[in-house]
Amino acid sequence: MQTVLILLGPPGAGKGTQAARLASALSSPHVSTGDLFRENLGKGTELGKKAKQYMESGQLVPDALVIDMLFDRVAKSDCAQGYLLDGFPRTVAQAQALDTRLQGSKVRALNLAVADATLVERLTGRWTCKACNHIHHERFSPPRQSGRCDKCGGELFQRNDDTHAVVEKRLSVYREQTKPVEAHYRAQGVLSDLDGSRAPDEVFKAMLAAARGEGR
């Protein structure tokens, strides 16, 4: 049966970092709507042009654009057995659209909780690899060579929505529009709550166990 794993939690909770590790441990494709938008932005596509203003100001891209883009991606053959969603759904309307699409599939949602002060510190110090999307942090996981990714040697950049002002906006958008998505999955009995403030390895182990349905 197709199994879809959904990672929930505020920006900076560690979804991207953990999703990459989980995807490789579970041999499941990592589908990040933020990465898909950044790819479109980089290539200058129509979709990228439409998404740009929302992304740069920390707002959500309208549901219809996100849902179409995501559904196109997960229709590809590598997702047939299942996939791991990072950054989607971010509104209850997106969650409802996904429910309709996933009837008959197994769904599990992992919710990472982290205090706001920690999120701001994590996001404003974050450096992402242009080539492989690996994430470094200037204090918590600095690259061995300044400006270069430890994993692939690619160039590191600071996302322009990781500035202090845009991070505050993203957190308030999260509280208003994305937080209710937790209740949506809790009501379905498929949500696991996890403490995302622990060391990355510990969080990873807990997420992997929850993804496999252990301890339930």
Catalytic hit among 21, 108, 151, 159 = 159
For ligand AMP, the closer CB: 48 or 209 = 48
* Distance in Å, CB of 87 to ligand AMP, minimum: 3
Task: Specify whether 49 is catalytic.
Answer: no
Residues that bind ligand AMP (CB under 6 A): 11, 33-34, 37, 54-55, 58-61, 66, 87-88, 90, 94, 161, 170
* Distance in Å, CB of 214 to ligand AMP, minimum: 27
Task: Specify whether 159 is catalytic.
Answer: yes
* Distance in Å, CB of 148 to ligand AMP, minimum: 22
- Is 145:41 a contact under the CB 8 Å cutoff? no
Closest CB to ligand AMP: residue number: 34
Task: Specify whether 212 is catalytic.
Answer: no
For ligand AMP, the closer CB: 30 or 90 = 90
Task: Specify whether 90 is catalytic.
Answer: yes
For ligand AMP, the closer CB: 181 or 191 = 181
For ligand AMP, the closer CB: 118 or 209 = 118
* Distance in Å, CB of 88 to ligand AMP, minimum: 4
The single-letter code of the amino acid at 162 is: D
- What is the set of active-site residues? 15, 90, 126, 159, 170
